[in-house]
Chain A
Amino acid sequence: MELTGAEITMRCLADEGVEYLFGYPGGAVLHIYDELFKQDRVKHILVRHEQAAVHAADGYARTCQKPGVCLVTSGPGVTNAVTGIATAYMDSIPVVIVSGQVPTHAIGQDAFQEVDTVGITRPCVKHNFLVKDVKDLAATMKKAFYIATSGRPGPVLVDIPKDVTTARCEYVYPDKVELRSYSPVVKGHSGQIKKALGLLLEAKRPMIYTGGGIVLGEASAELTQLVRALGYPCTNTLMGLGGYPATDPQFMGMLGMHGTYEANMAMQHCDVLLAVGARFDDRVIGNPKHFFQEDRKIIHVDVDPSSISKRVKVDVPIVGDVKEVLSEMSRQYAAGGTKPDAAALKAWWTQIELWRARDCLKYDRASPIIKPQMVVQKLYEITKGEAFVTSDVGQHQMWAAQFYKFDKPRRWVNSGGLGTMGFGLPAAMGVYLAHPDSQVVCVTGEASIQMCIQELSTCKQYRMPIKIVNLNNRYMGMVRQWQEFFHGNRYAESYMDALPDFVKLAESYGHVGMRIEKPEDIEPALKEAFARKDQLVFMDFITDQTENVFPMVPGGKGLSEMILV
């Protein structure tokens, strides 16, 4: 039987096993919404802004092993979604975006709600398609899911003109697709792995540095096994937190611009570095020239060849699936007789412990004003480290990364690459839908939360009992911090006057609001909020306005040139 393009679109999503579709209707996608109405296999979540649709799909994808899917209309539907798409792209998150387009005969005529969607999104998607013939629709949808989820994942957009949604053809959803131009490498070269292991075992001062690739590649267990077997220190990037258990003694904390003193010092002074699923970006190694003042051998494992030797020259490149490579490394280590140099390793750990003793994350615990670090620490204790934590971007994000100890992957959800304010709340919606029985917390600030505050309405509609921890310092804290350090305390436009009463705001959306102003009230407030299992609670913590994030590697400086508290 012949189906319309709209029916085919919905059938493809259902056949792909899509559970939730995050979207917002509009003219160009009305036929698809009509088909959505007639079926019950795919559940639709109506967001209040298309940016949130993509963030929610993204949050969903980050916390389960499935791609997130969204549906937006042409023109402004797409341009609103672009921030979400770019966010997913920078963090390699598998998201499939279906967008409506004006009818094929109107393309290029500056039609109502027309934009060059494929052109606008090209630089921030893994791939995109414009479907001009309904006969190509099902195969294109299959390709989109395949490309989004394989190799180094990423967002893929399928643009469907309105007349294609009404045209008819036979529906066959292909079982699999093959693309002659796309075949991600899976298995790492075993000779290279052997060489890497040899280097690692010769190391006097080894260091293991891992990123989001461990989380995306489901390689956390393999990493933990190898790190423990070798007895080497391990650090995670902002995107990699949870890849290695944070409470393990071999864990050095996060590295980078706001990484721990010990992680950054060990990174700078190691003689052999194993980098896995990470990309040596500017927030991680600081100034590359300074980084290379020290001599070290680098082994780099990544599924994406273009990540290797992009910012730093590598001695042993290994292209492959990180899970495969790490388990092969462990296998070869167990089979070979060589052990690490115990004496050198002992001396290295002694040095590391001296760095650790610097206690770089200390803050004034006796302060009469609420310290934001204290809030995150209490949150960690009360949720026993088991919550899914999303964040926005700024100081609160760094404190959440520093003080919430993630022992498991896929628990920490933040916009690491693009640094998108407004990400936290919609991402938490996606996380909640993926894990409805878990605690989902959005750690945010009063500036970030206002960038997607409208989603409180979506949360009400679908009864999402997310807990919002708003670290309210009445400043764009990270901007203020930079202005304090580098711009002579000239706080240009970083103070936000006329903030809303967040308690009343939450209540107006039908949620629970709380304002917490004293340190002794932090714990009771959090306990009460989590006791309200079926309600969204907006906790507005009035925090110290002057608190800064330490340590800090200033822009352009080297890793060991941290500003310490």
Chain B
Amino acid sequence: MKHIISLLLENEAGALSRVAGLFSARGYNIESLTVAATEDATLSRMTIVTTGSDDVIEQITKQLNKLVDVVKVVDLSEGEHIERELMLVKVRAAGKDREEMKRMADIFRGRIIDVTDKTYTIELTGTGQKLDAFIEALEEGAVLETVRTGASGIGRGERILRV
């Protein structure tokens, strides 16, 4: 099953490689991993999307907690949470396709952020599933390039991850 794991870690050189190294050394999956500093400059916040059985996910959270640089770990999937991912997609938009592409972007609440005679670059935010659905909905061959940030997650309501 898919899990979204959020962690706070010391914003220090090498902290990312400790986490990435743990996943590769123990053979855990990483579907996506995002990291950036938080409002507290000494801390980074990381979101990892991973898959595995309950036993594997339990080990992943335990092993992450064991890393000395990791301050806190929470499996967001255990409760209500919000997940967002940003995608930039460059599509073919020439001739009769141009109108259709604009309409598709609107339906998915995407924004066109760059335009040429032959292409649009669309910015789209949502869950990973929504981004997948957008790509699926486009005609084959329409997509020239995509780049995705990987998911960021946060707990709903009063559920807060901080030191």
What is the interface of chain A, defined by CB distance below 8 A to chain B? 118-119, 122-123, 126-127, 130, 147, 179-182, 304-306, 309-310, 313
- Using known A-B contacts A118-B14, A306-B63, determine if residue A181 contacts B69 with beta carbons closer than 8 Å: yes
**CB contact list, B116-163 vs A, under 8 A:** 163
Whether B52 is near chain A, meaning CB under 8 Å from some CB there, is no
Interface positions of B (Cβ within 8 A of A) = 9-10, 13-14, 17-18, 21, 25, 55, 58-59, 62-63, 65-66, 68-71, 163
* Contacting residues, chain A, for B71 (C-beta < 8 A): 180-181
A122-B18 in contact (CB<8A): yes
CA distance A528 to B94 in the complex (A): 95
A334 vs B21: C-alpha distance in the bound complex, in angstroms? 47
Q: Is the CB–CB distance between B58 and A180 below 8 Å?
A: no
Contact between A306 and B21, CB atoms less than 8 A apart: no
Known: A119-B17, A130-B13, A181-B9. A305 touches B65 (CB 8 A): yes
Closest to B62 in A: A306
Q: Are B62 and A305 in contact, with the CB atoms below 8 A? A: yes
In the complex where A118-B14, A123-B25 touch, is A306 in contact with B68 (Cβ < 8 A)?
no
Q: Is the CB of A126 within 8 A of B65?
A: no
Cα distance, A402 to B49, chains bound together (Å): 47
- Are the C-beta atoms of A304 and B66 separated by less than 8 Å? yes
Contacts of A310 in B (CB 8 A): 59
Interchain nearest-CB distance for A338 vs B (Å): 32
A23–B55 Cα gap in the complex (Å)?
Answer: 42
With A118-B14, A305-B62, A306-B62 given, is the CB distance from A123 to B21 under 8 Å? yes
- 6 closest A-B pairs by beta carbon, nearest first, are A306-B62, A181-B71, A127-B68, A182-B68, A305-B62, A123-B25
Which secondary structure characterizes the binding site on chain B?
A: helix
Q: Is the CB of A122 within 8 A of B17?
A: yes
20 A-B pairs, CB-CB below 8 angstroms? Answer: A118-B14, A119-B17, A122-B14, A122-B21, A127-B68, A147-B68, A179-B68, A181-B70, A182-B68, A304-B66, A305-B62, A305-B65, A305-B66, A306-B59, A306-B62, A306-B63, A306-B65, A309-B55, A309-B58, A313-B55
Q: How far is the CA of A305 from the CA of B58 in the complex (A)?
A: 10
A313 to B56, alpha carbons, bound, how many Å? 12
Q: Shortest beta-carbon distance, B44 to chain A, in Å?
A: 12
- On whether the beta carbons of B66 and A306 are closer than 8 Å, the reply is yes
CB distance from A89 to the nearest CB of B (A): 12
Expressed in whole angstroms, the minimum distance between the Cβ of A186 and any Cβ of chain B is 16
CB distance from B25 to the nearest CB of A (A): 5
- Enumerate chain A residues within 8 angstroms of B18, measured Cβ to Cβ: 122
Q: How far is the CA of A306 from the CA of B71 in the complex (A)?
A: 16
Closest chain-A Cβ to B31's Cβ sits at a distance in Å of: 22
Q: How far is the CA of A126 from the CA of B163 in the complex (A)?
A: 23
Complex contacts, A123 vs chain B, CB 8 Å: 21, 25
Chain A positions within 8 Å of B70 at CB level: 181
Contacts of A182 in B (CB 8 A): 68
Which of B9, B10, B68: most chain A Cβ within 10 A? B68
B14, A130: Cβ atoms under 8 Å? yes
Q: Give A528 to B25 CA distance when docked, in angstroms.
A: 49
In the complex, which residues of chain A have a beta carbon less than 8 angstroms from the beta carbon of B63? 306
Whether A181 lies near B14 (C-beta < 8 A) is no
Contact of A180 among B59, B66, B163 (CB under 8 A): B163
How far, in angstroms, from A549 to B58 measured CA to CA in the complex?
A: 38
Q: Which B residues are CB-close (under 8 A) to A126?
A: 68
Given contacts A127-B68, A127-B69, A130-B14, 20 further A-B contacts (CB under 8 A): A119-B17, A122-B14, A122-B17, A122-B18, A122-B21, A147-B68, A180-B71, A181-B9, A181-B68, A181-B70, A181-B71, A182-B68, A305-B62, A305-B66, A306-B59, A306-B62, A306-B65, A309-B58, A309-B59, A313-B55
The docked-state distance in angstroms from the alpha carbon of A118 to that of B14 is 8
Nearest chain B CB to A130 CB, angstrom units: 7
Name the residue on A nearest B10 (C-beta).
A181
Residues of B within 8 A of A122 (CB): 14, 17-18, 21
Closest to B70 in A: A181
Q: Which of B18, B70, B163 has the most CB of A within 10 A?
A: B18
